[in-house]
Copies of this chain bind each other. A is one copy, B any other.
Amino acid sequence: MKITPLHHIPMRPEFRSPFSAGYIVEGGRLLFFSGCGPVPIYHTHPHDPVEERRWLDGSFRDQCERTFDNMRIILSAAGADWSSVLKLNIYLTDMTHQNTLNEISAANFGRDNPPARTLVMVPELAHRRMLLEIEGVVALPAAAKS
């Protein structure tokens, strides 16, 4: 498996770009992971309003850090880490949170070759009061002997 960040021009440090222009992958395995938020990845359906209230306490920063914790749990279960992430799709219910998101993202992904990324606002997520959701594609080393 080989992954390569794509920079159409050098990423100048003063840009503090939270994303690379693209990411290229060859060989190995791909992991598509589900949209993660601050709630436990597996939880009761239909949603339990009492659990939801407890889980969705706190500021955007709290929710964002718990979302990154959940992504870390998934990466770790797949034997991967932050450096294997090719692409993220991030959904915010309020775009004014983007700078906090970018700060937490940089703390995890660093500044040099962060994943490719799309960031959009949506009016609502699957849990009311959930402020963000992040899904992604990850490269893993080959497992099969072929």
C-alpha gap A77/B31 in the complex (Å) = 24
The interface size bin for chain A is 35 or more
Do residues B27 and A144 form an inter-chain contact, with CB atoms below 8 A?
A: yes
Q: Kindly state whether residue A25 has any CB partner on chain B within 8 Å.
A: yes
Which secondary structure dominates chain A's binding surface?
A: mixed
Partner pick for A21 among B20, B77, B133, CB 8 A cutoff: B77
Given contacts A24-B140, A123-B122, contact A117 B46 (CB under 8 A): no
A interface residues with partner B (beta carbon < 8 Å): 2, 6-9, 11-12, 14-35, 41-46, 73-74, 76-78, 86-87, 89, 91, 95, 98-99, 102, 116-126, 128, 133, 135, 137-138, 140, 142-144, 146
